[in-house]
Amino acid sequence: MQIIPAIDVIDGKCVRLTEGNYAQKKIYNEHPLEIAKQFEDAGLQRLHLVDLDGAKAGKIINWKTLETIATKTKLMIDFGGGIKTDKDVEIVFKSGATLATVGSIAVKNETEFTKWLLQFGAHKFLLGADVKDEKIAVGGWLETTNINVYAFIESYVQKNVQQIFCTDISKDGKLEGPSIELYKNIIQKFPEIFFIASGGVSSIKDLEALKLMGCKATIVGKAIYENKIKLEELKRFF
């Protein structure tokens, strides 16, 4: 199972939110590049980079942070937050991301996102399914829809999206353990996708459980920053 550390960016700084609440922000480092280099030095190969300013504003803001990390590390980066136009997608790839991470637009403007899948290739996108009570949430988690998570995933699996991550908002940033049942259901329904678990990971034990149930990868954030999981402990997964 691949471990994908997360860096969330506000004002160019590495932060974490709790349950997606911008008021519950904690700054961990003024320089995300330093954190990214620590991940690379520990043997990790991929990075989940999120522009939280962009997610809130509806346009990419922290692309310079992406460019800096992409230029100065060899990490494979998926970058998301505020991707709304063709130009945004182009900026993401030109700035060095391997994958563009999308969520809200896939919910709110299926026509536009489907156009990107054809234009850039479905393999270039990581689809985020942010969930609250099995319903999709959008806009930096500020808005919950009536769209069922399984129907949402199904619609894009049919359009050849290969990598999907799911975050249970009720778990995120709380270090209370991941949504095992939800992820188990998704993997059972869609065994063909590269499924990435996200949210709630608090220990190596959680990671072992996710690996056992068939997750291809897991995004880990706060547990690393709060020293609940040490970087050297992650070596058993690669």
Whether 130 is catalytic is yes
Residue in 8, 53, 88, 168 annotated catalytic: 8
Closest to 82 (Cα-Cα) out of 67, 104, 98: 104
Residue 146: what residue type? N
Residue in 53, 130, 172, 206 annotated catalytic: 130
The whole-angstrom separation of Cα 109 and Cα 216 is: 28
Closest to 99 (Cα-Cα) out of 175, 164, 172, 54: 164
Task: Using CB atoms within 10 Å of the CB of residue 230, give its burial: 0 to 12 exposed, 13 to 18 middle, 19+ buried.
Answer: exposed
Q: How far apart are the first and last CA of the chain?
A: 7
Which residues does 95 contact at the CB level (< 8 Å), separation at least 6?
63, 64, 66, 67, 70, 79
Query: In angstroms, what CA-CA distances link 184 with 163, 189, 208?
Result: 16, 9, 14
The whole-angstrom separation of Cα 131 and Cα 11 is: 26
Query: In angstroms, what CA-CA distances link 110 with 17, 56, 80, 115, 195?
Result: 28, 20, 17, 8, 21
Work out the number of other CB atoms within 10 angstroms of the CB of residue 146: 6
Just list the catalytic residues: 8, 130
